[in-house]
């Protein structure tokens, strides 16, 4: 059964610093997603990663996928306060329709 783990669970960082959130999954997956959730709000799709070596960037966020290591990373460059949110990764498997979510990383960027 597919399991997804994220670390760290909590991340407090200063504005302007860089950091990486890690997402490991336990079995073969053919798609990996990153979502953002603001407190009390819904989930917003950030990235879809479908192949080994895929890299996508949007503003200060960059996501990558290594299917051999079963690892995806979300890298934050020069963090700003507006990035404070909870970030989830989710993995899915071809032939099934389940999307399994990680536990989330709660990011707080301090001014």
Per CB under 8 A, residues contacting other proteins are 30-31, 33, 35, 41-45, 48, 50, 88, 90, 92, 96-104
Nearer to other proteins, 33 or 83 (CB): 33
d(CA 33, CA 79): 21
Q: Which is nearer to other proteins, 40 or 82 (CB)?
A: 40
Q: How far is the CB of 3 from other proteins (least distance, A)?
A: 11
- Closest C-alpha to 27, from 104, 95, 73, 87: 95
Count CA within 13 A, CB hemisphere, residue 81: 2
């Amino acid at each position: 059964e597919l399991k997804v783990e994220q670390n760290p669970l909590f991340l407090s960082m200063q504005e302007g610093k860089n950091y990486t959130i890690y997402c490991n999954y336990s079995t073969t997956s053919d798609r990996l997603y990153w979502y953002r959730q603001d407190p009390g709000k819904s989930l917003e799709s950030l990235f879809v990663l479908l192949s080994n070596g895929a890299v996508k960037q949007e503003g200060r966020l960059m996501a990558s996928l290594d299917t051999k290591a079963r690892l995806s990373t979300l890298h934050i460059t020069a963090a700003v306060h507006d990035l404070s949110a909870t970030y989830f990764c989710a993995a899915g498997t071809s032939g099934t329709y389940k999307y399994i979510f990680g536990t989330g990383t709660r990011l707080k960027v301090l001014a």
